Amino acid sequence: MKRPKITIVGAGNVGATAAHWIASKELGDVVLIDIMEGIPQGKALDLKQSGPVEGFDCRIIGSNDYAATENSDVVVITAGIPRKPGMSRDDLLKINAKIVGEVTAQVAKYSPQSILIVVS
């Protein structure tokens, strides 16, 4: 049986934790995406290397290219910026809405049939 492909967009604390949980439960193969060069690749490598110790075996890749997410069954969006001192909630909403809009455009391009989950 084909294992589902699950993409996590955003390789920060929330995204990396979600990727670890998905991998450790072997819910599917994991693609970790982030705009920061090297971050998703490094976190994916850490997860892959923990697999034999923690007892899971699934494919985990990290990338900065949305093409790696093609044909994902599920996409979890954890990308966004935290609220900074002095920043209004309205300002935060505008910035994060733009980020989610850009991400969903890429999801629609590469995985139009996927289930989309937004973690905010």
Q: Which pLDDT tens digits describe the chain residue by residue (120 residues)?
A: 789 999 999 999 999 999 999 999 999 999 999 999 999 999 999 999 999 999 999 999 999 999 999 999 999 999 999 999 999 999 999 999 999 999 999 999 999 999 999 998
> In the chain, how many domains are there?
1
**Residue 71 structural domain:** 5-118
Q: Which residues neighbour 106 within 8 Å (Cβ) at sequence distance 6 or greater?
A: 66, 69
Measured distance CA(7)–CA(111) in Å, rounded: 10
- Going through 1-120 in order, the beta strands assigned E by DSSP cover 5-9, 29-33, 60-63, 74-77, 115-118
pTM: 0.93
Mapping DSSP to helix (H, G, I), strand (E, B) and coil, where does residue 32 land? strand
User: Which two structure tokens, joined as six digits, stand for 109?
Assistant: 């391009």
CATH classification of the domain holding 101: 3.40.50.720
